[in-house]
Amino acid sequence: MGKDVGTWTWFHKLASPPHFYRIAGRMIPWFAVPAAILIVASTYGGLVMAPADYQQKDAFRIIYVHVPAAWLSLMCYMTMASAAAVGLIWRIKLAHALAAASAPIGASFTLVTLVAGSLWGKPMWGTWWTWDARLTSELILLFLYLGYMALRSAFDDLTRADRASAVLALVGVVNVPIIHFSVVWWNSLHQGSTVLRKGGPAMPAEMLWPLLVGALGYTFLYAALACIRVRGEVLIRERNASWLKELEAA
């Protein structure tokens, strides 16, 4: 019982804007430094150490940007939607702040995914773009991010903006499994999963480890950027709070 009370107290404190503001500030370097190290290691491993693919040759190396960015585009959306749901149900303003902070980060990763995919598609498919199920659903994801941000900016009242954008974020969740399973449900030019598949990854270890390291590095990068952006959201929402005035005075 005491442990449950302690856990609840910890979550309650974490949801406190001044408490989270301080914690997020301390955590930024703890996320940013590993992100830089892992991304550099992934880039070197993917561009220098990994051998050329026997079919795609060196063109396959775009996956060391494309795949981690695609993973983050989905993870950011699920984080945004989950935070929006928490804010909508339990009316925790900090959850809405996390959702708002995640949207532009997720949109950026989604744009990188689409651009990197086009750069790979030109030599492989002979075209920059095709209305393939995976590509189309990923494009819809970008529109959902942009729609979420546009809807938020359409309201002067933050409370109404939080509620309206949270509903849109939750509705858009249906697109996430469509993106993931699109290569299974429909005939797709996009290749199927090569890492998360039955029987284990279809890539040799010397190609696989830079990809996994890159995915982890991008995840740390998202965490660092989210901390920075949530702190900015907190400053906007709490600009008249007494604790912020005391912090400025200190």
| Residue-level pLDDT at 15 | 73
Contacts of 32 (CB under 8 A, 6+ apart): 220, 221, 224
100 vs 249: CA distance, rounded Å: 28
Please list the residues that pair with 149 across neighbouring strands.
none
210 vs 215: CA distance, rounded Å: 9
Higher pLDDT, 5 or 146: 146
**For range 78-99, the mean pLDDT:** 95
Q: Is pLDDT of 9 > 70? A: no
Q: Domain residues of the chain, as ranges?
A: 18-249
Higher pLDDT, 67 or 244: 67
**For range 60-65, the mean pLDDT:** 92
92 sits in which H/E element? none
Q: What are phi and psi of 57, to 5 degrees?
A: 60, -140
Q: What angle do CA 222, 32, 66 make, to 5 degrees?
A: 45
pLDDT in tens, 130-160: 898 899 999 999 999 999 999 999 999 999 9
**Of the candidates 236, 191, 244, 212, the residue with the CA atom closest to the CA atom of residue 71:** 212
Q: Is pLDDT of 199 > 70? A: no
Task: Compute the residue count for the chain.
Answer: 250
pLDDT in tens, 15-41: 788 889 999 999 999 999 999 999 999
Higher pLDDT, 185 or 120: 120
Q: Is pLDDT of 10 > 50? A: no
**pLDDT band for position 12 (50/70/90)?**
low
